[in-house]
Chains A and B, each alone.
Chain A
Protein backbone atom coordinates (compact mmCIF):
# COMPACT_ATOMS: atom_id res chain seq x y z
CA UNK A 1 0.00 0.00 0.00
CA UNK A 2 2.77 2.46 0.95
CA UNK A 3 4.74 1.75 -2.23
CA UNK A 4 1.57 1.68 -4.35
CA UNK A 5 0.79 5.19 -3.15
CA UNK A 6 4.33 6.33 -3.93
CA UNK A 7 4.01 4.99 -7.47
CA UNK A 8 0.66 6.75 -7.81
CA UNK A 9 2.20 9.99 -6.64
CA UNK A 10 5.69 10.10 -8.17
CA UNK A 11 6.44 7.01 -10.30
CA UNK A 12 9.33 8.56 -12.21
CA UNK A 13 11.26 9.95 -9.26
CA UNK A 14 14.42 8.11 -8.25
CA UNK A 15 13.64 6.00 -5.18
CA UNK A 16 16.99 4.29 -4.53
CA UNK A 17 20.52 5.21 -5.61
CA UNK A 18 22.12 7.93 -7.70
CA UNK A 19 20.08 10.41 -9.72
CA UNK A 20 21.67 9.08 -12.94
CA UNK A 21 21.23 5.36 -12.63
CA UNK A 22 19.08 4.69 -9.57
CA UNK A 23 15.80 2.79 -9.39
CA UNK A 24 12.66 4.87 -9.85
CA UNK A 25 9.58 4.22 -7.75
CA UNK A 26 8.08 2.49 -10.81
CA UNK A 27 11.19 0.26 -11.09
CA UNK A 28 10.98 -0.55 -7.40
CA UNK A 29 7.31 -1.48 -7.78
CA UNK A 30 7.97 -3.64 -10.86
CA UNK A 31 10.81 -5.53 -9.22
CA UNK A 32 8.81 -6.00 -6.02
CA UNK A 33 6.10 -7.60 -8.17
CA UNK A 34 8.66 -9.91 -9.79
CA UNK A 35 10.00 -10.81 -6.32
CA UNK A 36 6.50 -11.63 -5.09
CA UNK A 37 5.95 -13.85 -8.12
CA UNK A 38 9.22 -15.69 -7.45
CA UNK A 39 8.38 -16.15 -3.76
CA UNK A 40 4.97 -17.56 -4.60
CA UNK A 41 6.36 -19.90 -7.23
CA UNK A 42 8.65 -21.58 -4.69
CA UNK A 43 6.08 -21.40 -1.90
CA UNK A 44 8.57 -19.66 0.37
CA UNK A 45 7.20 -19.28 3.91
CA UNK A 46 9.68 -16.52 4.75
CA UNK A 47 12.15 -14.35 2.87
CA UNK A 48 15.47 -14.44 4.73
CA UNK A 49 18.23 -11.95 3.96
CA UNK A 50 21.86 -12.50 5.00
CA UNK A 51 23.35 -9.55 3.21
CA UNK A 52 24.49 -5.96 3.48
CA UNK A 53 22.33 -3.06 2.25
CA UNK A 54 21.95 -2.86 -1.52
CA UNK A 55 19.35 -1.69 -4.00
CA UNK A 56 17.89 -5.19 -3.68
CA UNK A 57 16.98 -4.56 -0.02
CA UNK A 58 13.90 -2.34 -0.53
CA UNK A 59 12.81 -4.53 -3.45
CA UNK A 60 12.93 -7.65 -1.25
CA UNK A 61 11.21 -5.94 1.68
CA UNK A 62 8.27 -4.85 -0.50
CA UNK A 63 8.28 -8.10 -2.50
CA UNK A 64 7.85 -10.17 0.67
CA UNK A 65 5.02 -7.89 1.79
CA UNK A 66 3.32 -8.31 -1.61
CA UNK A 67 3.61 -12.09 -1.33
CA UNK A 68 2.22 -11.88 2.20
CA UNK A 69 5.21 -13.53 3.91
CA UNK A 70 7.58 -12.24 6.62
CA UNK A 71 10.83 -10.54 5.65
CA UNK A 72 13.62 -11.75 7.95
CA UNK A 73 16.91 -9.80 7.72
CA UNK A 74 19.66 -11.59 9.64
CA UNK A 75 22.90 -10.23 11.04
CA UNK A 76 25.31 -11.32 8.31
CA UNK A 77 28.24 -10.59 10.65
CA UNK A 78 27.34 -13.51 12.92
CA UNK A 79 29.55 -16.59 12.82
CA UNK A 80 28.23 -19.29 10.45
CA UNK A 81 26.91 -21.47 13.26
CA UNK A 82 24.78 -18.73 14.81
CA UNK A 83 23.56 -17.54 11.42
CA UNK A 84 22.43 -21.06 10.53
CA UNK A 85 20.68 -21.48 13.88
CA UNK A 86 18.65 -18.31 13.32
CA UNK A 87 17.81 -19.22 9.72
CA UNK A 88 16.73 -22.68 10.89
CA UNK A 89 14.18 -21.04 13.19
CA UNK A 90 12.28 -19.52 10.23
CA UNK A 91 12.09 -22.55 7.94
CA UNK A 92 10.63 -22.92 5.31
CA UNK A 93 12.20 -19.97 3.57
CA UNK A 94 13.96 -18.62 0.56
CA UNK A 95 17.26 -17.16 1.75
CA UNK A 96 19.08 -14.44 -0.16
CA UNK A 97 22.83 -14.42 0.52
CA UNK A 98 25.46 -11.76 0.01
CA UNK A 99 27.17 -12.41 -3.35
CA UNK A 100 29.61 -15.29 -3.10
CA UNK A 101 28.40 -16.58 0.29
CA UNK A 102 25.56 -19.01 -0.43
CA UNK A 103 27.52 -21.86 1.19
CA UNK A 104 26.97 -20.20 4.57
CA UNK A 105 23.31 -21.26 4.48
CA UNK A 106 23.50 -24.36 2.28
CA UNK A 107 21.94 -27.63 3.33
CA UNK A 108 19.44 -26.34 5.92
CA UNK A 109 16.13 -28.19 6.03
CA UNK A 110 13.40 -26.34 4.11
CA UNK A 111 15.62 -23.42 3.10
CA UNK A 112 16.50 -22.65 -0.49
CA UNK A 113 19.49 -20.35 -0.92
CA UNK A 114 20.05 -17.88 -3.73
CA UNK A 115 22.93 -15.50 -4.38
CA UNK A 116 21.70 -11.89 -4.37
CA UNK A 117 23.49 -11.18 -7.65
CA UNK A 118 21.78 -14.10 -9.40
CA UNK A 119 18.40 -13.21 -7.96
CA UNK A 120 18.78 -9.60 -9.10
CA UNK A 121 19.63 -10.69 -12.66
CA UNK A 122 16.51 -12.81 -12.78
CA UNK A 123 14.10 -10.11 -11.58
CA UNK A 124 12.53 -8.50 -14.58
CA UNK A 125 11.68 -4.86 -14.06
CA UNK A 126 8.60 -5.21 -16.20
CA UNK A 127 5.57 -6.33 -14.34
CA UNK A 128 3.97 -9.49 -15.64
CA UNK A 129 1.38 -10.08 -12.97
CA UNK A 130 -1.61 -7.88 -12.40
CA UNK A 131 -1.55 -5.72 -9.32
CA UNK A 132 -3.01 -8.01 -6.68
CA UNK A 133 -1.15 -6.45 -3.74
CA UNK A 134 -3.58 -6.65 -0.87
CA UNK A 135 -3.14 -5.30 2.61
CA UNK A 136 -3.75 -7.62 5.49
CA UNK A 137 -3.07 -5.80 8.74
CA UNK A 138 -2.44 -9.06 10.61
CA UNK A 139 0.17 -10.36 8.13
CA UNK A 140 3.63 -10.53 9.68
CA UNK A 141 5.66 -7.97 7.73
CA UNK A 142 9.03 -8.36 9.39
CA UNK A 143 10.70 -10.67 11.88
CA UNK A 144 13.71 -9.09 13.54
CA UNK A 145 15.99 -10.93 15.90
CA UNK A 146 16.82 -8.80 18.91
CA UNK A 147 20.53 -8.37 19.45
CA UNK A 148 20.52 -10.88 22.29
CA UNK A 149 22.93 -8.94 24.50
CA UNK A 150 21.47 -10.77 27.51
CA UNK A 151 20.50 -14.19 26.14
CA UNK A 152 19.29 -16.05 23.06
CA UNK A 153 18.03 -13.66 20.37
CA UNK A 154 14.23 -13.35 20.33
CA UNK A 155 12.33 -12.96 17.05
CA UNK A 156 10.29 -9.76 17.36
CA UNK A 157 7.12 -9.83 15.27
CA UNK A 158 6.09 -6.66 13.43
CA UNK A 159 2.77 -6.94 11.59
CA UNK A 160 1.67 -4.81 8.66
CA UNK A 161 -0.65 -2.81 10.90
CA UNK A 162 2.19 -1.87 13.25
CA UNK A 163 4.46 -0.58 10.50
CA UNK A 164 1.67 1.19 8.62
CA UNK A 165 0.52 2.87 11.86
CA UNK A 166 4.05 4.07 12.45
CA UNK A 167 4.38 5.50 8.96
CA UNK A 168 0.91 7.10 8.86
CA UNK A 169 1.47 8.51 12.33
CA UNK A 170 4.88 10.05 11.66
CA UNK A 171 5.31 10.81 7.94
CA UNK A 172 3.35 13.04 5.59
CA UNK A 173 2.87 11.44 2.19
CA UNK A 174 5.00 12.94 -0.57
CA UNK A 175 6.33 15.61 1.79
CA UNK A 176 9.92 15.44 0.49
CA UNK A 177 11.12 17.83 -2.16
CA UNK A 178 12.53 16.33 -5.35
CA UNK A 179 16.08 17.32 -4.35
CA UNK A 180 15.96 15.51 -1.01
CA UNK A 181 18.02 12.39 -0.32
CA UNK A 182 18.37 10.26 2.82
CA UNK A 183 21.51 8.32 3.66
CA UNK A 184 21.00 5.01 5.46
CA UNK A 185 24.05 3.50 7.11
CA UNK A 186 22.40 1.22 9.65
CA UNK A 187 22.27 -2.42 8.55
CA UNK A 188 19.10 -4.13 7.24
CA UNK A 189 18.70 -6.22 10.42
CA UNK A 190 18.29 -3.08 12.57
CA UNK A 191 14.72 -1.80 12.94
CA UNK A 192 15.89 1.69 11.96
CA UNK A 193 17.12 0.28 8.64
CA UNK A 194 13.63 -1.05 7.87
CA UNK A 195 11.86 2.07 9.13
CA UNK A 196 14.13 4.26 7.00
CA UNK A 197 13.05 2.47 3.82
CA UNK A 198 9.36 2.73 4.61
CA UNK A 199 9.31 6.33 5.75
CA UNK A 200 11.49 7.67 2.95
CA UNK A 201 9.50 5.83 0.28
CA UNK A 202 6.26 7.24 1.72
CA UNK A 203 7.75 10.74 1.87
CA UNK A 204 9.05 10.39 -1.70
CA UNK A 205 12.66 10.88 -0.62
CA UNK A 206 15.51 9.26 -2.54
CA UNK A 207 17.38 6.60 -0.51
CA UNK A 208 21.14 6.20 -0.54
CA UNK A 209 22.88 3.33 1.17
CA UNK A 210 26.29 2.91 2.75
CA UNK A 211 26.69 -0.85 3.24
CA UNK A 212 29.73 -0.63 5.52
CA UNK A 213 30.04 2.42 7.71
CA UNK A 214 33.30 4.33 7.61
CA UNK A 215 33.28 8.03 8.54
CA UNK A 216 35.29 9.25 5.53
CA UNK A 217 33.08 7.35 3.09
CA UNK A 218 29.96 8.62 4.85
CA UNK A 219 31.10 12.25 4.57
CA UNK A 220 32.16 11.78 0.92
CA UNK A 221 28.75 10.35 0.04
CA UNK A 222 26.91 13.21 1.77
CA UNK A 223 28.95 15.69 -0.26
CA UNK A 224 28.81 13.81 -3.59
CA UNK A 225 25.08 13.09 -3.54
CA UNK A 226 23.87 16.23 -1.79
CA UNK A 227 22.39 14.18 1.06
CA UNK A 228 19.77 16.16 3.00
CA UNK A 229 18.99 13.79 5.87
CA UNK A 230 20.60 10.84 7.60
CA UNK A 231 20.22 8.56 10.61
CA UNK A 232 23.21 7.37 12.62
CA UNK A 233 23.87 5.49 15.86
CA UNK A 234 25.93 7.34 18.49
CA UNK A 235 29.22 5.56 17.75
CA UNK A 236 28.89 6.60 14.09
CA UNK A 237 28.27 10.23 15.00
CA UNK A 238 31.29 10.23 17.31
CA UNK A 239 33.50 9.09 14.43
CA UNK A 240 31.95 11.52 11.92
CA UNK A 241 32.51 14.40 14.36
CA UNK A 242 36.13 13.35 14.89
CA UNK A 243 36.68 13.18 11.14
CA UNK A 244 35.08 16.58 10.46
CA UNK A 245 37.03 18.14 13.31
CA UNK A 246 40.28 16.82 11.84
CA UNK A 247 39.52 18.60 8.55
CA UNK A 248 40.25 21.81 10.44
CA UNK A 249 39.12 25.36 9.69
CA UNK A 250 39.18 24.82 5.92
CA UNK A 251 36.59 22.02 6.15
CA UNK A 252 33.72 22.58 3.70
CA UNK A 253 31.33 21.19 6.35
CA UNK A 254 28.17 19.43 5.26
CA UNK A 255 26.07 22.28 3.85
CA UNK A 256 23.41 20.09 2.20
CA UNK A 257 22.69 18.11 5.36
CA UNK A 258 19.48 19.61 6.78
CA UNK A 259 18.61 16.92 9.27
CA UNK A 260 20.59 14.36 11.22
CA UNK A 261 18.83 11.94 13.51
CA UNK A 262 20.49 9.66 15.98
CA UNK A 263 19.37 6.87 18.26
CA UNK A 264 19.96 3.25 19.17
CA UNK A 265 22.06 3.92 22.23
CA UNK A 266 23.28 6.51 24.66
CA UNK A 267 24.85 9.61 23.10
CA UNK A 268 27.83 11.03 25.01
CA UNK A 269 27.06 14.70 25.68
CA UNK A 270 30.42 16.05 24.42
CA UNK A 271 29.81 14.34 21.07
CA UNK A 272 26.42 15.92 20.49
CA UNK A 273 27.64 19.33 21.67
CA UNK A 274 30.59 19.15 19.31
CA UNK A 275 28.30 18.03 16.46
CA UNK A 276 25.98 21.00 17.05
CA UNK A 277 29.01 23.24 16.95
CA UNK A 278 30.50 21.76 13.75
CA UNK A 279 27.18 21.58 11.89
CA UNK A 280 25.44 24.86 12.76
CA UNK A 281 22.91 24.59 9.91
CA UNK A 282 21.89 20.99 10.54
CA UNK A 283 18.78 20.10 12.53
CA UNK A 284 19.40 17.38 15.09
CA UNK A 285 16.79 14.84 16.12
CA UNK A 286 17.25 12.28 18.86
CA UNK A 287 14.94 9.32 18.34
CA UNK A 288 14.21 6.65 20.93
CA UNK A 289 12.55 3.44 19.94
CA UNK A 290 12.81 -0.32 20.12
CA UNK A 291 12.50 -3.14 17.65
CA UNK A 292 9.28 -4.14 19.42
CA UNK A 293 7.75 -0.68 18.93
CA UNK A 294 8.30 -0.39 15.14
CA UNK A 295 11.19 2.03 15.62
CA UNK A 296 10.77 5.59 16.92
CA UNK A 297 8.39 6.34 19.80
CA UNK A 298 9.84 9.59 21.19
CA UNK A 299 11.70 12.50 19.59
CA UNK A 300 13.89 15.33 20.78
CA UNK A 301 13.48 17.83 17.96
CA UNK A 302 15.87 20.39 16.46
CA UNK A 303 14.54 23.40 18.37
CA UNK A 304 14.66 21.50 21.64
CA UNK A 305 18.31 20.62 20.99
CA UNK A 306 19.34 24.23 20.39
CA UNK A 307 17.18 25.48 23.27
CA UNK A 308 18.82 23.03 25.66
CA UNK A 309 22.34 23.98 24.65
CA UNK A 310 21.58 27.72 24.79
CA UNK A 311 19.74 27.69 28.12
CA UNK A 312 21.07 28.77 31.53
CA UNK A 313 18.33 26.82 33.27
CA UNK A 314 19.84 23.48 34.37
CA UNK A 315 16.47 21.76 33.92
CA UNK A 316 16.26 22.85 30.25
CA UNK A 317 19.96 22.28 29.68
CA UNK A 318 19.68 18.74 30.90
CA UNK A 319 17.18 17.90 28.14
CA UNK A 320 20.03 17.54 25.67
CA UNK A 321 20.44 14.15 27.38
CA UNK A 322 16.74 13.29 27.06
CA UNK A 323 15.03 11.42 24.21
CA UNK A 324 12.33 14.08 23.94
CA UNK A 325 8.58 13.62 23.90
CA UNK A 326 6.30 10.89 22.50
CA UNK A 327 5.00 10.80 18.92
CA UNK A 328 1.30 11.75 18.67
CA UNK A 329 0.03 8.15 18.76
CA UNK A 330 2.22 7.01 21.65
CA UNK A 331 1.60 7.00 25.41
CA UNK A 332 4.46 6.73 27.91
CA UNK A 333 4.04 5.61 31.50
CA UNK A 334 6.70 5.03 34.16
CA UNK A 335 5.94 2.03 36.38
CA UNK A 336 7.39 0.60 39.55
CA UNK A 337 8.19 -3.07 40.12
CA UNK A 338 4.57 -3.81 40.98
CA UNK A 339 3.35 -2.22 37.74
CA UNK A 340 1.94 0.90 39.45
CA UNK A 341 2.59 4.33 37.96
CA UNK A 342 5.42 6.06 39.82
CA UNK A 343 4.79 9.47 41.39
CA UNK A 344 5.99 12.59 39.50
CA UNK A 345 9.46 12.27 38.11
CA UNK A 346 10.38 9.06 39.95
CA UNK A 347 12.33 6.59 37.81
CA UNK A 348 10.97 3.17 36.89
CA UNK A 349 10.32 0.86 33.95
CA UNK A 350 9.28 2.63 30.74
CA UNK A 351 5.91 1.31 29.50
CA UNK A 352 4.67 2.20 26.02
CA UNK A 353 1.30 1.94 24.30
CA UNK A 354 0.12 2.74 20.77
CA UNK A 355 -0.99 1.24 17.45
CA UNK A 356 2.61 0.80 16.28
CA UNK A 357 3.65 -1.08 19.45
CA UNK A 358 3.88 -4.82 18.82
CA UNK A 359 5.51 -6.26 21.92
CA UNK A 360 5.19 -9.73 20.39
CA UNK A 361 7.78 -12.47 19.86
CA UNK A 362 7.50 -15.46 17.55
CA UNK A 363 8.13 -18.13 20.17
CA UNK A 364 7.16 -16.32 23.39
CA UNK A 365 3.96 -14.65 22.17
CA UNK A 366 2.67 -11.19 23.12
CA UNK A 367 4.20 -9.40 26.08
CA UNK A 368 1.55 -6.69 26.16
CA UNK A 369 -0.46 -6.24 29.37
CA UNK A 370 -4.25 -6.56 29.29
CA UNK A 371 -4.44 -2.80 28.83
CA UNK A 372 -2.10 -2.96 25.82
CA UNK A 373 1.05 -1.65 27.53
CA UNK A 374 4.48 -2.92 26.53
CA UNK A 375 6.93 -3.01 29.47
CA UNK A 376 10.20 -2.16 27.73
CA UNK A 377 12.58 -3.18 30.50
CA UNK A 378 14.30 0.14 29.86
CA UNK A 379 14.60 2.30 32.94
CA UNK A 380 13.71 5.98 32.74
CA UNK A 381 11.85 8.99 34.09
CA UNK A 382 9.80 11.92 32.81
CA UNK A 383 10.45 15.56 33.67
CA UNK A 384 7.59 17.93 34.46
CA UNK A 385 7.09 18.82 30.79
CA UNK A 386 7.02 15.22 29.63
CA UNK A 387 10.59 14.86 28.38
CA UNK A 388 11.71 11.26 28.70
CA UNK A 389 15.13 10.33 30.07
CA UNK A 390 16.32 6.78 29.47
CA UNK A 391 18.74 5.49 32.10
CA UNK A 392 19.46 2.03 30.68
CA UNK A 393 18.22 -1.54 30.83
CA UNK A 394 16.54 -2.51 34.09
CA UNK A 395 18.68 -5.68 34.08
CA UNK A 396 21.76 -3.47 34.30
CA UNK A 397 20.67 -1.84 37.55
CA UNK A 398 23.32 -2.10 40.25
CA UNK A 399 22.04 -3.29 43.61
CA UNK A 400 24.34 -2.11 46.37
CA UNK A 401 23.32 -2.56 49.97
CA UNK A 402 19.68 -2.96 48.94
CA UNK A 403 19.70 0.30 46.96
CA UNK A 404 18.86 0.21 43.26
CA UNK A 405 21.33 2.35 41.35
CA UNK A 406 20.94 3.06 37.66
CA UNK A 407 24.25 3.04 35.77
CA UNK A 408 22.93 5.74 33.40
CA UNK A 409 22.62 8.20 36.26
CA UNK A 410 26.30 7.87 37.19
CA UNK A 411 27.45 7.80 33.56
CA UNK A 412 25.56 11.00 32.74
CA UNK A 413 27.43 12.84 35.52
CA UNK A 414 30.85 11.45 34.58
CA UNK A 415 30.37 12.28 30.88
CA UNK A 416 30.05 15.96 31.82
CA UNK A 417 33.70 15.91 32.92
CA UNK A 418 35.81 17.29 30.06
CA UNK A 419 38.41 14.53 30.42
CA UNK A 420 35.89 11.69 30.13
CA UNK A 421 35.41 10.52 26.54
CA UNK A 422 33.25 7.52 27.39
CA UNK A 423 32.25 5.59 30.47
CA UNK A 424 30.18 2.70 31.76
CA UNK A 425 29.14 1.84 35.30
CA UNK A 426 28.61 -1.79 36.26
CA UNK A 427 28.00 -3.77 39.44
CA UNK A 428 30.51 -6.45 40.45
CA UNK A 429 30.12 -8.91 43.34
CA UNK A 430 30.93 -7.50 46.79
CA UNK A 431 30.89 -9.64 49.92
CA UNK A 432 29.68 -6.86 52.14
CA UNK A 433 27.33 -4.86 49.90
CA UNK A 434 26.09 -7.44 47.39
CA UNK A 435 27.47 -5.38 44.54
CA UNK A 436 30.09 -2.65 44.31
CA UNK A 437 30.00 0.16 41.78
CA UNK A 438 32.80 -0.05 39.24
CA UNK A 439 33.16 2.55 36.49
CA UNK A 440 35.24 1.99 33.39
CA UNK A 441 36.47 5.30 31.99
CA UNK A 442 37.99 6.15 28.61
CA UNK A 443 40.04 9.31 29.03
CA UNK A 444 40.06 12.01 26.35
CA UNK A 445 43.52 12.65 24.91
CA UNK A 446 46.19 12.82 27.59
CA UNK A 447 44.31 14.84 30.19
CA UNK A 448 45.55 14.30 33.70
CA UNK A 449 42.80 12.94 35.92
CA UNK A 450 42.63 10.84 39.06
CA UNK A 451 39.99 8.41 40.29
CA UNK A 452 39.45 10.74 43.26
CA UNK A 453 38.36 13.57 40.96
CA UNK A 454 35.68 11.41 39.40
CA UNK A 455 34.51 9.94 42.71
CA UNK A 456 34.22 13.48 44.12
CA UNK A 457 32.23 14.61 41.09
CA UNK A 458 29.62 11.88 41.51
CA UNK A 459 29.48 12.38 45.30
CA UNK A 460 28.86 16.08 44.77
CA UNK A 461 26.27 15.73 41.97
CA UNK A 462 24.38 12.70 43.26
CA UNK A 463 24.17 11.00 46.62
CA UNK A 464 27.17 9.44 48.34
CA UNK A 465 25.73 5.95 47.82
CA UNK A 466 26.11 6.54 44.06
CA UNK A 467 29.84 7.16 44.37
CA UNK A 468 31.92 4.64 42.41
CA UNK A 469 33.88 2.27 44.63
CA UNK A 470 36.45 1.76 41.90
CA UNK A 471 37.47 3.73 38.83
CA UNK A 472 39.23 1.72 36.14
CA UNK A 473 40.82 3.50 33.19
CA UNK A 474 40.43 1.55 29.93
CA UNK A 475 41.39 2.12 26.29
CA UNK A 476 37.91 1.47 24.94
CA UNK A 477 34.50 0.08 25.84
CA UNK A 478 32.99 -2.94 24.07
CA UNK A 479 30.19 -2.06 21.62
CA UNK A 480 28.35 -4.20 19.11
CA UNK A 481 28.24 -3.09 15.47
CA UNK A 482 25.05 -1.08 15.92
CA UNK A 483 26.42 0.93 18.80
CA UNK A 484 25.02 -0.96 21.78
CA UNK A 485 27.27 -1.11 24.81
CA UNK A 486 27.97 -4.74 25.71
CA UNK A 487 27.86 -4.56 29.51
CA UNK A 488 28.04 -8.33 29.81
CA UNK A 489 31.40 -8.31 28.01
CA UNK A 490 32.63 -5.44 30.17
CA UNK A 491 31.61 -7.33 33.33
CA UNK A 492 33.64 -10.31 32.13
CA UNK A 493 36.66 -8.13 31.36
CA UNK A 494 36.58 -6.48 34.77
CA UNK A 495 35.53 -9.56 36.75
CA UNK A 496 38.84 -9.51 38.61
CA UNK A 497 37.79 -6.27 40.31
CA UNK A 498 34.93 -8.02 42.12
CA UNK A 499 34.99 -10.47 45.02
CA UNK A 500 35.10 -14.08 43.93
Chain B
Protein backbone atom coordinates (compact mmCIF):
# COMPACT_ATOMS: atom_id res chain seq x y z
CA UNK B 1 0.00 0.00 0.00
CA UNK B 2 1.15 3.62 -0.45
CA UNK B 3 3.04 5.23 2.39
CA UNK B 4 0.93 6.59 5.24
CA UNK B 5 1.72 10.29 5.14
CA UNK B 6 0.37 12.61 7.84
CA UNK B 7 -2.92 14.06 6.64
CA UNK B 8 -3.71 11.17 4.28
CA UNK B 9 -7.16 9.64 4.71
CA UNK B 10 -8.13 5.98 4.55
CA UNK B 11 -11.37 3.99 4.56
CA UNK B 12 -12.32 0.51 5.64
CA UNK B 13 -13.46 -2.02 3.01
CA UNK B 14 -15.76 -3.81 5.43
CA UNK B 15 -17.44 -1.04 7.45
CA UNK B 16 -18.03 2.73 7.51
CA UNK B 17 -14.77 3.55 9.35
CA UNK B 18 -12.59 6.36 8.00
CA UNK B 19 -9.36 7.65 9.50
CA UNK B 20 -6.78 10.41 9.00
CA UNK B 21 -3.10 9.79 9.69
CA UNK B 22 -1.67 12.04 12.40
CA UNK B 23 1.85 10.57 12.36
CA UNK B 24 3.39 7.48 10.82
CA UNK B 25 6.78 5.74 10.79
CA UNK B 26 8.88 5.79 7.61
CA UNK B 27 8.34 2.88 5.27
CA UNK B 28 5.42 0.53 4.73
CA UNK B 29 2.70 0.01 7.29
CA UNK B 30 -0.10 -2.48 6.70
CA UNK B 31 -3.03 -0.58 8.12
CA UNK B 32 -6.19 -2.63 8.46
CA UNK B 33 -9.76 -2.24 9.57
CA UNK B 34 -11.97 -5.19 10.40
CA UNK B 35 -9.13 -7.45 9.30
CA UNK B 36 -8.88 -6.12 5.72
CA UNK B 37 -6.43 -3.57 4.33
CA UNK B 38 -7.71 0.00 4.24
CA UNK B 39 -8.06 1.84 0.92
CA UNK B 40 -8.05 5.55 0.01
CA UNK B 41 -11.18 7.41 1.11
CA UNK B 42 -13.89 7.13 -1.56
CA UNK B 43 -12.89 3.58 -2.53
CA UNK B 44 -14.03 1.85 0.65
CA UNK B 45 -17.43 0.97 2.04
CA UNK B 46 -19.36 -1.37 4.29
CA UNK B 47 -18.89 -4.52 2.22
CA UNK B 48 -18.41 -6.43 5.50
CA UNK B 49 -18.62 -8.18 7.74
CA UNK B 50 -15.40 -7.48 9.70
CA UNK B 51 -13.39 -10.48 10.89
CA UNK B 52 -14.69 -11.73 14.22
CA UNK B 53 -11.41 -10.93 15.99
CA UNK B 54 -11.45 -7.36 14.61
CA UNK B 55 -15.10 -6.41 15.14
CA UNK B 56 -14.85 -4.28 18.27
CA UNK B 57 -15.61 -1.13 16.30
CA UNK B 58 -13.94 2.28 15.93
CA UNK B 59 -15.02 5.42 17.79
CA UNK B 60 -15.54 8.86 16.25
CA UNK B 61 -12.88 11.42 17.18
CA UNK B 62 -10.72 8.92 19.07
CA UNK B 63 -7.02 8.51 18.44
CA UNK B 64 -5.43 5.11 17.92
CA UNK B 65 -1.75 4.22 18.29
CA UNK B 66 0.42 1.15 17.69
CA UNK B 67 2.46 -0.58 20.39
CA UNK B 68 5.65 1.34 19.48
CA UNK B 69 3.78 4.66 19.52
CA UNK B 70 5.10 5.48 16.04
CA UNK B 71 1.75 5.33 14.25
CA UNK B 72 -1.12 7.58 15.31
CA UNK B 73 -4.40 8.11 13.54
CA UNK B 74 -7.71 9.78 14.23
CA UNK B 75 -11.06 8.18 13.50
CA UNK B 76 -13.09 10.62 11.36
CA UNK B 77 -16.03 8.23 10.79
CA UNK B 78 -16.91 5.38 13.13
CA UNK B 79 -17.70 1.81 12.07
CA UNK B 80 -17.99 -1.80 13.22
CA UNK B 81 -14.45 -2.87 12.37
CA UNK B 82 -11.44 -2.55 14.68
CA UNK B 83 -8.30 -0.77 13.48
CA UNK B 84 -5.05 -2.69 13.29
CA UNK B 85 -1.57 -2.64 11.78
CA UNK B 86 0.29 -5.72 10.56
CA UNK B 87 -2.23 -8.07 12.18
CA UNK B 88 -2.16 -6.43 15.63
CA UNK B 89 -5.03 -4.29 16.87
CA UNK B 90 -4.24 -0.66 17.63
CA UNK B 91 -4.77 0.81 21.10
CA UNK B 92 -7.07 3.65 22.01
CA UNK B 93 -4.87 6.61 22.96
CA UNK B 94 -5.48 8.45 26.20
CA UNK B 95 -6.55 12.05 25.75
CA UNK B 96 -3.78 14.53 26.52
CA UNK B 97 -5.72 17.65 27.34
CA UNK B 98 -4.04 20.92 26.48
CA UNK B 99 -5.50 24.13 27.83
CA UNK B 100 -7.70 25.84 25.26
CA UNK B 101 -5.79 28.71 23.70
CA UNK B 102 -8.44 30.02 21.37
Which residues in A have some Cβ–Cβ distance to B below 8 Å?
Answer: 1, 4-5, 8-9, 135, 137, 161, 164-165, 168-175, 182, 192, 195-196, 199-200, 203, 229, 231, 259, 261, 263, 283, 285, 287, 295-296, 299, 301-302, 327-328, 355
Contact = CB atoms under 8 A, between A and B. Distances in A.
A9 B60 CA distance: 7
B2 interface: no
Given A5-B60, A173-B60, A259 B77 contact: no
A172 B95 contact: yes
A229 B100 contact: yes
A302 B99 contact: yes
A162 to B, nearest CB: 10
Interface size class of B (residues with CB under 8 A): 20 to 34
Interface string B51-70: 00000000011100000000
A283 B101 CA distance: 11
Nearest to A137: B7
Contact of A283 (B6, B78, B99): B99
Nearest to B61: A173
B85 interface: no
- Grouping DSSP codes into helix (H, G, I), strand (E, B) and loop, the B interface class, with mixed when no group exceeds half, is loop
Contact of B101 (A1, A231, A328): A231
Interface string B80-98: 0000000000000001111
A165 B99 contact: no
A355 B6 contact: yes
Given A4-B76, A173-B74, A196 B60 contact: no
Contacts of B101: 170, 199, 231, 261, 263, 285, 287, 295-296, 299
B56 to A, nearest CB: 19
A195 B101 CA distance: 9
Contacts of A229: 100
A175 B99 contact: no
Residue of A164, A173, A175, A287 ringed by the most chain B CB atoms within 10 A: A173
A195 B97 contact: no
A226 to B, nearest CB: 16
